[in-house]
A and B are shown apart, each in its own frame.
Chain A
Amino acid sequence: MVSQNEKAVARFRSSQVRTLTISIILLVAAASILTSIILNAAGDVIGGKVSSLVGAHSRQIQLNIDEYMERIEDAAMLMFSDEAYYLYDNTDESIEQYDRIQATDKIFARIVDIGIMQSFSDFMVLYSDGTSVGWKSKTTSELFSEGTDLYEYFAGCITDTRRNDGWEFDVNDIYTRFYYAKRLNPNAILLASSYSRELSEAFEHSEELRDMVVRLVDENEKIVYSTDTDEIGESLPEDISEYISGRTNISITNSEYFIEVNSCRNGWNVICSFGSDDLLREYNILKNIAITATAVICGIAIIISIVIQRRLLEPVSGIVTGMAKRATYDQLSGAINRASFVEVVKDAIKDNSSGEKYIFFAMTDIDNFKKVNDNLGHAYGDEVISRMSKLIVGLLGEKLTVGRMGGDEFAMFCLYENVSREDADAIIQNDISRIREEFKKEFSKEAQSLDVTLSMGVYTGYLTGSDTFDELYRKADIALYVSKENGKDRATIYDESMDEKGGDEA
């Protein structure tokens, strides 16, 4: 049996669930959005910081390399301190052998004086006739079979027209060293060479950036030195080369790399690159931890909020349930009130589709109830109504709907399905008798003193499509009227003949 009020309660409960669900969704969404905003911001900050760190290191390494090159250039420059060093031309055949030896000894001594402060592999004056004075390494000696070819080659490397010098890497596929050549006079150049790995100190950078690859590349993007020493002499990896596409002194950030390019004094470039994955590896680990932690915290928050909601709503729920009950039941008698009774009956008689239904609709009225109020007070009257209600509900509440219609008037309703009229009438007769007997027992004292008895009006009949509550009520009420007219303390079954009589009264 569901009343409108119970539906309201159900609606209240479902709205409670809805509120909770929406709260949880909002919580998860808010936490996700907040987490993602914070993580993205953190990612941007870390990316920016590392990018500037890479930039700073790249610049420092470029300065180191410039300084290294400058040292070599400065050493070479010292050959210009005396004409005897830089103007001497060993190809001049008019010079006598003795003078030649004196001159070259002097130049050699100068080479030693300057060169001992450096770790050179080669440091010599090369003359256009293929002769040389100074330190000539085995590797350089073996580069060309003719000394003149060696001279020609390095003369061709002098590309800076102001300083008359030039840097060269990858001579005949020799990747272990790079050369510096500077013209001394039209028939002589100074040639210095250093091992590429000498640059390893210039390449030293923070342990924090251990995944960073630093490369020094020449103008053809050949790797002169790299922190990955295996790739010295190779070409710059294609993807990095494409990202840079010939630009210099720039910083590139994309999904794959952080790249920083700085140009050295001789036009070679320091390229620092950092795989984005490597860079963000630790950040991604942190990110995963953050997401997991947020999820766990959300879960905990959801559980806590469910518990809190339960706790918070328990009293409210009780109030609502009480209110619903109050709206449905008559407070004095405990039977359902008139409005609810009307609703239940209307609902029941609305649907007459499923087979024959036999209606029982009865009205009761306590005879001489006014005397109770007048003699024993309203409180006692109320008690009588309460006892009356308990009596009927206690006796037949299981199968009948019992409602207090107002005052001392109660109504009873039942639909018998699949029961023959005879059987139903018998049951009804029995029920009426039981009510009357019980009433007499319950109110025997009041009957004696105040002449309190019970009158009943009963309507029975098959349910038709045209039955309305008002009609059923009217008919039962007429029968009740007839009981009263006939001397009270009786039950009258309605028949149509009563219509004229009762109709007037009603």
Chain B
Amino acid sequence: MKKQALILIPMAACMALTGCGQKNIKTELMEKNVINLSWWGNDSRHTYMMDGVDLFESQNPDIDVKISYGDWNGYETKTQVYMESGNEADVMLINYSWLGRYSPTGEGYYDLYELSDYIDLSTFGEEYLQYGIVNGKLNALPTAMNTVIMCFNQDIFDKYGLELPTDWDDLFEAAEVMREDGIYVMSIAKKHAVIMLYSYYEQLSGKQAFNSDGQFLLETSDIEIMLDFYKSLVDEKVMIPLGDYDRNQFTNGQAAGTAIWVSDAGNYCNALENNGGSPVIVDYPMLENAKSQAKYIKPSTLYAISKNTENPVAAAKLLNFLLNNQEMALLTGTEKGVPISSSALSALSENDKLGSYEYEAYEKMHMDSANMSILYPAMENDSALNAFKNGADEYLYDKMTIEEAAQLIYDNIHAVLED
């Protein structure tokens, strides 16, 4: 009996310790709210956005953020594909023009007023909220304000003994000397080039190309003047033809200037500076006796929440983080422009992060903003811009007469906008 007891005791002990007996193991899985976030941009934006998402996820372990991003070129198509197919991200970086396109009645995006428990709207001035309101519904919140500014490489002008251009004639004069060395005065992307042509024509005629309802107001005769001016810009080597544009032409010295968004000032100026150039931010060229200032302002980008989101609260938390969180503001800096959110702005100012080119551009915009008119979304509608560019190419490369090309542009822009 004793021996049996002696053997049984440690056996029982070992069985107890090794769990030979049955035991229920309960594993609790944390429920994760999965939301999607999409944006466009370049490397620096992709990097800080991904860092921001990591930070947000660490602060909100119950939310899993899936990301989708891409280059601006083609992003409108991507947006169309996702919006129209009902696959859009829960939180989206959107362009001002998309409000009119996808939410003409204010029903196209989630009404952020309904999520104001999770989004701090007090950091946005009422005048800025207006940009995101459609039909009384807050469809989006602007990150920053934007306008087109000119950026020149001071070194090239110094080399030819030229002053920085302030009017259109200065541009042609500069081209006269620069073209000897194959240098263009300006390399401008499609959107800025077309907006610049609208601006030129508005200065000249006082006629706006679009109204607030998105209607195209120009006649073929107006377009002909713009086309003629564009051809002279190309022929006189003032501007690189749109078809040959490359974003590096300004930063690598093939062109002495460019037109860019205020929010892009850092990207271009820093790149030029890194290549040994001297960037200078200046005003848009202006006609003497211009009939209009013809400068346009808009929110640089906005954040919206999908009307179809299954996780409005998680999406609202992410949106609030992107716009108001001070750590996120420090990651973002002024890459999207100087932020509108007072919380983000104070984070930047307290941390001495406002000395950049974007801030310089922002100051210039801010001082001039009273003279600016709203950049109507139709003006930067990608299809409308393509319609203009394609027609211009037909004329530029002698495939059509100026009348035919102007008619083509007129028809196509109307077709696009009526769509």
B-binding residues in A (CB < 8 A): 23, 26-27, 30-31, 34-35, 38-39, 42, 96-98, 100-101, 104-105, 108, 111-113, 115-116, 118-121, 123, 135-139, 141-142, 145, 176, 195, 197, 201, 286, 289-290, 293-294, 297-298, 300-301, 304-305, 308-309, 312
Complex interface: chain B residues within 8 A of A293 (CB)? 13, 16-17
Known: A23-B6, A30-B7, A135-B70. A97 touches B46 (CB 8 A): no
17 pairs of residues in contact across A and B, judged by CB atoms under 8 Å: A23-B3, A31-B13, A34-B14, A35-B17, A97-B241, A119-B68, A120-B70, A138-B267, A195-B47, A201-B66, A286-B17, A293-B13, A293-B16, A297-B9, A301-B6, A301-B9, A304-B5
B13, A297: Cβ atoms closer than 8 Å: yes
Asked whether A116 and B243 contact (CB < 8 A) given A290-B18, A294-B14, A305-B2, the answer is no
Q: Is B417 an interface residue (CB 8 A)?
A: no
Q: Beyond the given A104-B243, A138-B267, A305-B2, could you list 15 further A-B residue pairs with CB under 8 A, ordered by the A residue number?
A: A26-B6, A35-B14, A39-B18, A96-B397, A97-B397, A101-B243, A108-B74, A112-B78, A116-B78, A118-B70, A120-B71, A135-B74, A195-B47, A297-B9, A312-B2
Residues of A within 8 A of B415 (CB): none
B contact residues vs A (CB 8 Å cutoff)? 2-3, 5-7, 9-11, 13-14, 16-18, 42-44, 46-47, 50, 66-71, 73-75, 77-78, 81, 241, 243, 247-248, 252, 267, 271, 274, 393, 397-399
Q: Which residues of B contact A294 (CB under 8 A)?
A: 10, 13-14, 17
CA of A396 to CA of B9, assembled, Å: 57
In the complex, A297 Cα to B6 Cα: how many Å? 10
Given contacts A138-B44, A197-B50, contact A308 B73 (CB under 8 A): no
A139 with B393, Cβ < 8 A, contacts A26-B6, A97-B243, A98-B399 known: no
Are A38 and B43 neighbours in the complex by a CB distance under 8 Å? Answer: no
* B73 cross-chain contacts in A, Cβ below 8 A: 108, 112, 135
Whole-angstrom CA separation of A135 from B77 in the bound complex: 14
| Distance in angstroms between the alpha carbons of A503 and B253 in the assembled complex | 151
Determine whether the beta carbon of A23 is less than 8 Å from that of B77: no
- In the complex, the answer to whether B248 meets A141 with C-beta atoms within 8 Å is yes
Chain A residue numbers with a CB within 8 Å of B81 are 116
Residues of B within 8 A of A101 (CB): 243, 393, 397
For the complex, give the distance between the alpha carbons of A116 and B17 in Å.
Answer: 57
Could you tell me the dominant secondary structure of chain A's interface residues?
A: helix
Contacting B243 at CB < 8 Å: which of A23, A100, A135?
Answer: A100
Q: B65 → chain A, closest Cβ, in Å?
A: 11
Q: Lowest 5 CB-CB distances: which A-B pairs, in order?
A: A112-B74, A98-B397, A116-B78, A101-B243, A31-B10
Distance in angstroms between the alpha carbons of A108 and B190 in the assembled complex: 14
Closest residue of B by beta carbon distance from A124: B71
Complex-state Cα separation, A115 to B72, whole angstroms: 12
Asked whether A116 lies within 8 Å of B74 as measured between CB atoms, the reply is: yes
Alpha-carbon separation in the docked complex, A138 to B69 (Å): 15
CA distance A34 to B5 in the complex (A): 15
Of all chain A residues, which has the CB nearest B12?
A: A297
A119 touching B13 by the CB < 8 A rule? no
Smallest distance from the beta carbon of A190 to chain B beta carbons, Å? 15
